[in-house]
Structure 1
Amino acid sequence: MPNITQLIALKEKYGSKNSVSNLQLKSLNENFRFSADQIKNSFSYQGLDTRILNFFESQASADLLFLFIDITAFSQKCKNLTNSQLAIYLDKYYDLVIPIIYAHGGEVEKIMGDGIIAIFGQPFLTDSKDVLFSKADKCAKDIIVLLRGTEREVKVALHDGSVMYYKNKTLNYPEYTVIGKSLTELYRLESVAMNNSISYYHVSQYDNKEFCKEGAFCITNHSPSKCGYFNKSSIVQVNLQGVEWSFIKHYTCTYNT
């Protein structure tokens, strides 16, 4: 995840609809160097919900939905931009994408230039796995439909799995990092994702969800309204290092209305 100070700044700038408040994050930031028991006592003293500490301090496993969003052919599109032009280009991209992530209850796990990893699940959301799939699906579609046909078209990798939050105690850099095999699988999937598509492993529960069907999708929370038509591909064979599956599918926005 971004360090806690950056995460607080992102939530303050863009707003958020998940259940972890900036007050909780600020308390974590202030007490980061203390023991888990001391942090819990501080939370209790302030009347803050301590559930977040089960994951951030006690390393409970979290079953998450991941989205890896990045601009298609980013290097090619930006190779002739000056440093100031590139900064403006990325700032605009963040201003479009991050509010959509937060509108659907997701949280920013990592920002790597044009690459943004969003997570849906504990401790930020307490919904069932089906609901988490739905929120991640709507978030990905919103982003694809909004940016399709612009200079910031994206590709999205969708994956899920169990992870732990690792507490990075490096001096002056307080953060909780998501660790797990599913994150490696997400990175590999992103490498073969397609433009204007949600790409996923063919064994994913996502493949059988009602919302993962051919049909139109209208973007939410944006005016004027935009709609896109999504088609599911047949199975595509891939060879991804360190991944046990050899087939993926793409759920592609074919046109806007």
Structure 2
Amino acid sequence: MTAEKRRSDRLMLTVPLIVAGRDAQGRDFELDARTVILNRHGALIQISRPLLTGQRIRIVNALCHREAEFTVVGPVAPRSEKGGQWGVECLNSKVNMWGIQFPPPSGNPNEPSALLECRKCHTPELKRVSLIEVEVLETSGILNKPCGTCGVNTPWGYAEEQLAMSAPPGETKMLAEVGMARPSDLRRHTRVSMQLPILVRDYYGGVEISKSENVSKGGFCFLSEKNYHIGAGIMVACPYNSAEECIEVPARVVRRKEVTGTHGKIYGVRYEQHR
């Protein structure tokens, strides 16, 4: 895998897929699946049947009906009653399988980015944004940014079609467990794909700087190798800027999912008081 592919930005989006291939016995199959995480060149997918490392499969994006040949890199989670998770890589690097424009690899892993959509041509793109632009998005909701498709600066806002995909599977159940399952709550806490530098401080003196995977008015998700228990109280700053004094607010860990094959865990955090 090239260095460019390793550095490609990832997005935690759920995209419905149709996966077709041939099993070890030579039998053809076609199944529904979904992405868990995706990037410019591939994805981590959830599928109900086992795949073979090195196997070629054809994947159809059920949202935009784009399709391409992929190779199975290998399993990343053990099989369960819901199936297994597999890493797949597109064989044609020129295919834009997800219909999302990705920026060139950045040398700064903590540089904020957001999944936005041009309000003129409706092209979705993962855009680099400054912390000031994050504030503008949270208030007016619109930024003036260059659009490669339109060829001029155009209004950009959160990518509407991708909003529902930003919520991890089981989001409704998770919100119900923490008392936020009313329809009005779900609308108010819609998650958007935004990667921001964050600070997490526990009540035992531990501090870490990480990066959000997606954010909402009610909280955010982030990846960490540290061990936080569900229900644990923490103090957070999102976004975090080391050059300025940031206000930390109380929050609580409400979701935790192991990232199989690594020491990492994806945490869902809910603010204890709405900002």
| TM-score (structure 1 length as normaliser) | 0.27
Tell me which protein shows more strand as a share of its residues: 2
TM-score by length of 2: 0.26
